[in-house]
Structure 1
Amino acid sequence: MEELRIEDNGRLGPIDSSRIPRFAGAATFARLPRLDQVESADVAIVGVPFDSGVSYRPGARFGANHVREASRLLRPYNPALDLSPFAEAQVADAGDVPVNPFNINAAIETIQQNALDLTEDGARLLTIGGDHTIALPLLRAAAERTGGPVALLHFDAHLDTWDTYFGAEYTHGTPFRRAVEEGILDTDALSHVGTRGPLYGKRDLEDDRRFGFGIVTSSDVYYQGVRETVAKLRDRIGDRPLYVSVDIDVLDPAHAPGTGTPEAGGITSRELLEILRGLRGLNLVGADVVEVSPAYDHAELTGVAASHVAYDLVSLMSELPKAANRTERGAAQRTTAGAQ
């Protein structure tokens, strides 16, 4: 079947849904072209089908394709941002990273290398998981590309700064502790948003503060509102290179039942989208949307929410210039830092 695509501003966009029904054809993200169908991408979207790091319900290995299917309903114009992201930048679906489901260390190495390969020419990367273990290698790649530690904005019901689980250092509950220990996060610009629920003990919060994280709980979002939340986050982040990691369980189970470790009392999909839109203009170098587990996703609520979160993140990235010399710039920055 011939792919009849929208072309706008010299960019190859999604399949034209006025000529080919939304339910027909291959399910790339937002029906965008594959990476091999364009000369290069300003924003690449990649799936990571991996859930060997989960501690409760599995299934996130099927999340990327579930989000792609839900994204068939997305359209080329984003009215909330008054922006046509697929005309502003060349966006393409890079397919899935071929991760080892039996060896977490090997999987982490593969994800990191693929992220480096996909961003070698300056493209910005949006990753759809997969469980939250994948954030660590993605952060490693982002820090290498930017030449130093990155700011982190982490949307999640949980802290994900625990030390080990059953003696394992690499799980979906430990990526940000490992990232702090490795020095790839800017500890002056770390924030959790949407956290809630019981913890193992008060020390969890004490450790988290020691690592440098600020916390905006789901209750804080409710009482303070989106605008105050955004103002605090922007003040903390400043102009630093920013990585955004979205665990879909940041949403209340009413909005996202299809996830591995749901917690009551979460923020709404509207609140999450409005907070993300409030980040417009910040130096967003990479992002992920993780922990979508289709087997528990009644009526595709989670897939729809996650697809819109990914769409708004792509929209934010589309306005930013492609960093064509990121590899050289990162090397130069590392050399300068080493001389100080």
Structure 2
Amino acid sequence: MTSSDNSSPLASHDARPPRGPVDSSKVPRYAGPATFARLPRIDQTDDRADVAVVGIPFDTGVSYRPGARFGGNAIREASRLLRPYNPAQDASPFALAQVADAGDIAVNPFDIGEALETVEHAAGELLDAGSRLMTLGGDHTIALPLLRAMARKHGPVALLHFDAHLDTWDTYFGAPYTHGTPFRRAVEEGVLDTSALSHVGTRGPLYGKRDLDDDAKMGFGIVTSADVMRRGVDEVVDQLRQRIGSRPLYVSVDIDVLDPAHAPGTGTPEAGGLTSRELLEIVRGLSDCHLISADLVEVAPAYDHAEITSVAASHTAYELTTLMTRQIAAARGAASGG
């Protein structure tokens, strides 16, 4: 495998420059293994990564169309087209810090409780090793163990949740752990900072008005997809940044926040969603927030004609990764007096 010579003015964990993606001028984009953005595997960086891209192929918690267990690899395939320089953020993310593909967390597809424990443990190990996580799902059930791991390291965290749905329902068929319940459980367990919670992009019918009442009692603010359309991205970003402040922020993106025209490949599509441009611009607007990790879930490639959803997901993960590497580089620069 041929790597590009991504030099960096700032050190990674041990003062070596980050190892960057495969050089596409020497190895065609369609050749070789599909790691995220053609980055090295984590074992090729001596098991060190400032940002670890990790897959969780799990969709046992879905309530409608399955298939998100294949989402991580679909995003990796679509990410072959990503390039090293991000003009929207004026940054070369893979030169600022070491980003590596940490592979998949292998979880039990028949036992949700065991799967959640496995995810929490594996995420905790990566965090303890000094990595921030860019997690590729999988269904939204996985957000709960990820938030547990984040809270163990950072204390209760702020949450910015992009989704068509609230995901704060109580149970489905008596089951407390599904892709529609992770954030209610997270509030109940005290892993979220309830003064800094917000949904973005919600829309569509609910079971009843009580859904909204319960959600508000948990501390969530709501920016609907119609709010984004009427108020515009800049005003929405300002509101979100004021709500989050300087708290440790976790971002969770369900790809169904996008309109089905922009993301048909998902399990529970809802009409009237964000455009991919709106989602990317809101994410870019979080540059001053303290982003500790993120996930991107619910990509179901079986329903994704022409890879529309996977492409949108790969670009969203790229923007989130860029935010994290910029913040890592800035912190190192400040620590070194630069």
- Return the match for 2:110 from 83, 90, 102: 102
* In 1: Cα distance, 2:85 partner to 2:3 partner: 18
Query: CA offsets, 1:286-332, max 9 Å, x none?
Result: 100000000000100000000000000000000123899xxxxxxxx
- Return the match for 2:29 from 15, 22, 32: 22
* In 2: Cα distance, 1:191 partner to 1:7 partner: 36
Query: CA offsets, 1:46-96, max 9 Å, x none?
Result: 000000000000000000000000000000000000000000010000000
Question: 2:3, 2:20 within 8 Å by CA — same for their partners in 1?
Answer: no
1:189 Cα deviation from its structure 2 partner: 0.3
Aligned to 2:229: 222
Aligned to 1:309: 316
Q: Which amino acid aligns with 2:80?
A: R
Q: Which amino acid aligns with 1:120?
A: D
* In 2: Cα distance, 1:240 partner to 1:88 partner: 23
Residue 37 (structure 1) aligned with residue 36 (structure 2): no
* In 2: Cα distance, 1:282 partner to 1:42 partner: 17
Aligned to 2:12: none
- Return the match for 1:278 from 285, 289, 295: 285
Q: Which amino acid aligns with 1:211?
A: M
Q: Which amino acid aligns with 2:72?
A: A
TM-score (norm 1): 0.93
* In 1: Cα distance, 2:196 partner to 2:3 partner: 44
Q: Which amino acid aligns with 1:190?
A: L
* In 1: Cα distance, 2:329 partner to 2:112 partner: 32
Question: 2:287, 2:323 within 8 Å by CA — same for their partners in 1?
Answer: yes
Question: 1:124, 1:322 within 8 Å by CA — same for their partners in 2?
Answer: no
Residue 123 (structure 1) aligned with residue 131 (structure 2): yes
Aligned to 1:332: none
For structure 1, the 5+ residue unaligned runs are 325-340
Question: 1:4, 1:20 within 8 Å by CA — same for their partners in 2?
Answer: no
Q: Which amino acid aligns with 2:4?
A: R
Query: CA offsets, 1:139-189, max 9 Å, x none?
Result: 00011111x110000000000000000000000000000000000100100
Aligned to 2:208: 201
* In 1: Cα distance, 2:18 partner to 2:160 partner: 30
1:123 Cα deviation from its structure 2 partner: 1.2
1:276 Cα deviation from its structure 2 partner: 0.3
Query: Bigger shift: 120-129 or 16-25?
Result: 120-129
Q: Which amino acid aligns with 1:197?
A: G
Aligned to 2:67: 59
* In 1: Cα distance, 2:81 partner to 2:31 partner: 12
What is the aligned-residue RMSD (CA, Å)? 1.2
Question: 1:123, 1:322 within 8 Å by CA — same for their partners in 2?
Answer: no
Aligned positions, number: 322
* In 1: Cα distance, 2:80 partner to 2:166 partner: 32
Residue 265 (structure 1) aligned with residue 237 (structure 2): no
Q: Any residues of structure 2 matched to 1:33-182 within 5 Å, and which?
A: 33-39=40-46, 40-146=48-154, 148-182=155-189
Q: Which amino acid aligns with 1:8?
A: S
Aligned to 2:6: 7
* In 2: Cα distance, 1:323 partner to 1:223 partner: 34
The sequence identity of aligned pairs, in percent, is 72
Partner SS for 1:207: helix
Query: CA offsets, 1:227-283, max 9 Å, x none?
Result: 000000000000000000000000000000000000000000000000000000211
Question: 2:156, 2:191 within 8 Å by CA — same for their partners in 1?
Answer: yes
Aligned to 1:187: 194
Partner SS for 1:316: helix
Question: 2:162, 2:199 within 8 Å by CA — same for their partners in 1?
Answer: yes
Question: 2:96, 2:329 within 8 Å by CA — same for their partners in 1?
Answer: no
* In 1: Cα distance, 2:6 partner to 2:313 partner: 26
- Return the match for 2:260 from 229, 253, 265: 253
Residue 237 (structure 1) aligned with residue 244 (structure 2): yes
Question: 2:108, 2:114 within 8 Å by CA — same for their partners in 1?
Answer: yes
Question: 2:64, 2:267 within 8 Å by CA — same for their partners in 1?
Answer: yes
Question: 1:242, 1:285 within 8 Å by CA — same for their partners in 2?
Answer: yes
Aligned to 1:330: none
* In 2: Cα distance, 1:245 partner to 1:304 partner: 17
Query: Bigger shift: 70-79 or 279-288?
Result: 279-288
Q: Which runs of 4+ in 1 moved over 4 A?
A: none
Question: 2:74, 2:310 within 8 Å by CA — same for their partners in 1?
Answer: yes
